[in-house]
Amino acid sequence: MQDFSNLLVGLAGLLAVAIVAFAHDWRDEHRRCMLMRPATHLHSMRDGWIRHRR
């Protein structure tokens, strides 16, 4: 049973590393896309909150 729990801990660690690596790649790609878009879609946090509350 001890070996099985060590295996699960190892798999969870590998999964966490993979998630961090893929999330970092996604953020870089998203940042590039956002820089290429016109800035007209940007709004203040208050405007977004007002729109959300309607």
Record the pTM.
Answer: 0.44
The Cα–Cα gap between 41 and 34 comes to 10
Interval 7-49: pLDDT, tens? 999 999 999 998 887 776 667 777 777 777 766 566 677 777 7
